[in-house]
Structure 1
C-alpha cells in the first residue's frame, strides 16, 4: 500500500501529536529523507519517541523504513500534471480511448464514495438547509467548481453567494458572517493560502465551515467543522473533477430533498415568469 493511502487509513487512530507528524511527512518528504527522527521531532515540536511511534502506528518497522518508503513514493514523484498525462498515455494504445478514460472516472467516483462519512454528509445537508446564508469559496483551479455549486445550490435554497475575491471586499463579506452562516470552501493541491485564511476567519465569525478537498490531511482541515476528501490518483484537480462534481451534485440533491417545499415553491414562481424573450426553441426534426 502507498504511504499516502496508509496514512489516510490510520489517520483517525493517531494521537494529536502523531497527526502532526503525518501531515509533516506528506508535506515535507525531502526533510524526512535526509533528517533523523530526532531532527524531525524538533522541527515539528514533538518528541523523537512520537515520530517513532507514528511509524509503528502505520505498521512500519521503524523510522528507517519510513525514510525508505518516503524516498521511493513521495520524494521522486513527478509533477501532478505530468502524472496526469502519463496515466492517459498508458491508455492511448487501448481500444476505445474515451471509454477507458470515462471508466477511470467511474473508479474515481467509487473511491470517493468509500471516503465519504455518511454522518458528516447528513450533518452538512442539515447545515446547508437551515443556514441563513451560504457562502461558496473556490479560487483558481477550484473556481469553476465553486461557481457551479453556487449556481446549482441557489436553485434549491435562497441566499447562496459566491465569494469573488477579485471583485469584492472580502473583509466586508466576512464581517457579515455569523453563527447562521455556512461557508463551503473548495481547496485542492496546491493549497492556496487565501482560501485557508478565509476559512479560518469565517470560523472566527462563528460560521460553520464545510471543506471539500483532496486529503484528510489538507491544510484546510484545521479550520473546518466537517471535511469531505475527494479521491484523486494524483495531486491534480484534473483527475478529481469528475468525483468532485459528482459529490457536489449529491450535496445539491440532499438539500433539494430536505427543502422540498421551498424548492417546489421556487420552481412554481420561476415557471410563472414570462421568459420568452430569453429562450429560443430548437428546430423540430422533419
Structure 2
C-alpha cells in the first residue's frame, strides 16, 4: 500500500491533531521532506510529539522513514498548466492524438468509479430525492460544473438553486437552510476558503452536505456528510473534468430512476407548455 492509500485508510482513526499532520503531508509533501518534525509541527500548530506519534500510527519507525516515503512516492512534479501542456505534448507525438486524450479520460473515469462507495452514492441519491430544497455550490474553476449540475437536477426535480455569492446574499440563503436541505459542494485544488466556509455554515444549519472533490482529505471533508473523490492524474480540474461530469451525470441518473414517476409527470407538464416561440428547427435537407 502506497503512502497516500495508507493515510486515507487510517485517516478516520487519527486524532484531530494527527489529521492536520496527514492533510499537510498530502498538500505540501516537498515542504515536509525538507523540514524537521519540530518545524513541521510549528508550521501547522501541533507539537513535535504529535508528528512523531503520527509516524508511529502509520507504522513508520520514525519521522526519517516517513520523509523517505514522501520523497519516493509523493515528490512528483506538481500540477500546473505547464505540466498539463507538457503531458499533452508528449501524447501528440503518438498517433491518434485525440483518441489518446480521450483514452486518458476513460481511464480516469474508471478510477473514479472504483473510489466511489456505493452506500454513499445511494445515501446521496436518497437525500437528493427527499430534500425540500437542493443547493449547488462551485466557485471559479468549479463553477461550470456546479452550473451544469444545478441545471440538470432542476430538470429532474423542483427547488434546485445554484449559489452565486457575487449576485445574492449568501447569508440569507444559508439562514433558510435546515435539516430538509441538501448542499452539493464542488471543490478542487486550489481550494477556496469561501467554498469551505459556506459548507461549514450550511452544516451548522443542519443541512446535509454532499462533497465532490479531488481527495478524501480535501478541506470540505470535515463539513461533508458524504464525500466523493474524483480521480485525476494531477491536481487540476482540467484533467478531472471528464471524471467529474461523468459522476455528476451518475448522480442525476440515480435521481431520475429514484423519482421515475414524479420525473415523468414533470416532463408531461414541460411538454404541455406552448413554448414553440422559444425554439427554431434546424434546416432540413432538400
CA deviations 1:176-198 (Å, max 9, x no partner) are: 11111110010000000000000
Match in the other structure for 1:284:
284
State the match for 1:133 in structure 2. 133
Tell me: CA distance 1:215–1:78, structure 2 relative to 1, closer, same or farther (3 Å): closer
**Displacement of 1:32:** 1.7
Of 268-277 and 136-145, deviating more is 268-277
Correspondence for 1:212:
212
Alignment of 1:56-75 (within 5 A): 56-58=56-58, 60-71=60-71, 74=74
SS in 2 for 1:277: helix
Structure 1: unaligned runs, 5 residues or longer: none
Q: Does 1:230 align with 2:216?
A: no
Q: SS of the residue aligned with 2:91?
A: coil
Alignment partner, residue 177 of structure 1: 177
Query: Corresponding residue for 1:145?
Result: 145
* Structure 1 residue 92, shift from structure 2 partner: 1.0
Q: Which residue is 2:193 aligned to?
A: 193
Structure 1 pair 255/116, CA: closer, same or farther in 2 (3 Å)? same
Q: How big is the shift at 1:5?
A: 4.5
Q: Distance in 1 between matches of 2:95 and 2:57?
A: 43
> Separation in 2 of the partners of 1:169 and 1:256?
31
Q: C-alpha separation between the residues in 2 aligned to 1:257 and 1:40?
A: 49
Shift of 1:88: 1.2
Quote how far apart the aligned CAs of 1:25 are.
1.1
Give, in angstroms, the shift of residue 7 of structure 1: 2.9
**Mapped pair 1:24 → 2:24:** yes
> Which residue of structure 1 lines up, in the alignment, with residue 255 of structure 2?
255
What stretches of structure 2 of length at least 5 have no aligned partner?
A: none
Which residue number in structure 2 is paired with residue 90 of structure 1? Answer: 90
Report what 1:162 is aligned to.
162
Q: TM-score, normalised by structure 2?
A: 0.91
- Aligned residues: CA RMSD: 2.2
Contact kept, 8 Å, 2:78 with 2:235, in 1: the verdict is no
The alpha-carbon deviation at position 125 of structure 1 amounts to 0.5
Cα distance in 2 between the residues matched to 1:86 and 1:13: 39
CA contact (8 A) 2:79 2:236 kept: no
Tell me the TM-score normalized by structure 1.
0.91
SS in 2 for 1:212: strand
Deviations 1:142-161 (A, max 9, x none): 00000000000001111000
Number of aligned residue pairs: 286
- State how far apart, in whole Å, the 1-side matches of 2:166 and 2:87 are: 35
Superposed displacement of residue 60, structure 1: 4.5
